[in-house]
């Protein structure tokens, strides 16, 4: 004959519940991780779309600034562009002038040093 296991039905059910609860807990944890991952992916994708739109806008602005696509620009925008260019050009000229003045000052200092050195050499020769 067959022998029946010594476990009681209550203990068997208790083991089943413990096992099924831990499986459910793991399942919930996996679902939570999946949701977190999807949220991060969604957020990253939205950021990507924003950056992509920004790049397109910047490329359009660059083409306009280079004078490549001025056909779609109205008179007010052209005047603003002209003002920006004049302002930029003025700033560039100012920087260039300052750079040239700095270089001139350096050359004048070098000239003074060379003149003093030359005087010193002339004095040594005459002694």
Q: Give the number of domains in the chain.
A: 2
Who contacts 64 (Cβ-Cβ below 8 Å, separation ≥6)? Answer: 70, 73, 77, 81
pLDDT in tens, 72-99: 888 999 999 899 999 999 999 999 999 9
* Whether residue 87 sits in one domain with residue 69: no
Chain CA centroid to CA 103, Å = 35
Same domain, 32 and 69: yes
| Per-residue confidence (pLDDT) for residue 10, from 0 to 100 | 67
Within a domain: residue 5?
no
32: enclosing H helix or E strand = helix 9-65
pLDDT at residue 3 tops 60: no
Q: Is the pLDDT of residue 20 over 80?
A: no
Quote the domain boundaries for residue 86. Answer: 77-127
Are 60 and 81 found together in one domain? no
pLDDT in tens, 23-61: 666 676 777 777 787 788 888 889 999 999 999 999 998
- 36 and 84 share a domain? no
> What is the phi/psi pair of residue 66, to 5°?
-85, -5
């Amino acid at each position: 004959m067959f022998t029946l296991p010594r476990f009681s039905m209550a203990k068997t059910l208790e083991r089943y519940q413990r096992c099924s609860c831990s499986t459910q807990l793991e399942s919930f944890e996996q679902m939570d991780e999946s949701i977190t991952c999807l949220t991060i992916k969604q957020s990253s994708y939205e950021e990507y779309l924003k950056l992509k739109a920004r790049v397109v806008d910047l490329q359009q602005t660059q083409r306009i600034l280079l004078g490549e696509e001025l056909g779609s620009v109205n008179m007010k925008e052209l005047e603003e562009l002209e003002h920006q260019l004049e302002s930029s050009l003025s700033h560039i000229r100012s920087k260039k002038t300052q750079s040239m003045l700095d270089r001139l000052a350096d050359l004048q200092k070098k000239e003074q040093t060379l003149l003093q050195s030359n005087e010193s050499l002339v004095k040594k020769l005459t002694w």
